[in-house]
Amino acid sequence: MIRIVLATTLAFTLPATAQTDPAALPAAERLMTVMGVEAQFEQIFVISAPAMAQNAVAQLEASQTTREMMEALTKGDYARKERVKAILAEEYLAAFRAQKARMVREIAREYAIAFTAAELDELARFFGSGAGAKYVAQQPMLQEKLTKANQRIGIEVGMVATPKAITRAEAELNAGTAE
């Protein structure tokens, strides 16, 4: 009885990839090539790495465990701090690039699960010509614009939400301490 329950449980927990059409993965990989996914990742990496470096420096400076290390490294000098950011951005970019092929394979695998080989071939034909090709060609420029718009909106959201959150937290947390 226990074996039947275990076998049934195991059968229902196996990944969906076990049932994927074997022709779907090569079709998905072709689609990734047609869509220029590697080039899109490169652009995203180039945009993301400096922002990640900026955030990392802010976190390193704010953390009690790393603040002294950052102070010793930068010696309070703006140029040294900027160099640390640049080095971090370069290392993040190199690490991203080292993972690019893996990321494309992961996406292709998910596409192979979600679509049949015939559907993937149809998508590749679409993205390889006409409006689909134009879509692919416009993606880098659109990604850059959308990333900047999202960053701008994110800053605005933070400027609106943070003061409200602090005011609310003060009110809620201090409500029980009034004597």
pLDDT attached to residue 144:
83
**Count, residues in the chain:** 179
Confidence of residue 19 (pLDDT cuts 50, 70, 90): low
- Is the pLDDT at 173 greater than 60? The verdict is yes
pTM of the shown model: 0.66
Alpha helices in 75-129 (DSSP H): 78-114, 117-127
Q: What is the mean pLDDT of residues 161-176?
A: 91
- As a whole number of angstroms, the distance between CA 120 and CA 108 comes to 10
Task: Report helix, strand and coil shares of the chain as percent, to nearest 5.
Answer: 85, 0, 15
- Is the pLDDT at 3 greater than 80? The verdict is no
In the block, residue with structure tokens 């180039």: 46
pLDDT attached to residue 15:
52
Residue partners of 81: CB distance under 8 A and separation at least 6: 57, 74
Residue range 91-134, pLDDT digits in tens: 999 999 999 999 999 999 999 999 999 999 999 999 999 999 99
pLDDT attached to residue 59:
94
pLDDT attached to residue 127:
94
**What's the number of CA atoms in the CB half-sphere (13 Å) around residue 149?**
6
Q: Which of 146, 166, 148, 168 is nearest to 158 (CA)?
A: 166
Q: What is the mean pLDDT of residues 8-31?
A: 70
Confidence of residue 8 (pLDDT cuts 50, 70, 90): very low
- Is the pLDDT at 139 greater than 50? The verdict is yes
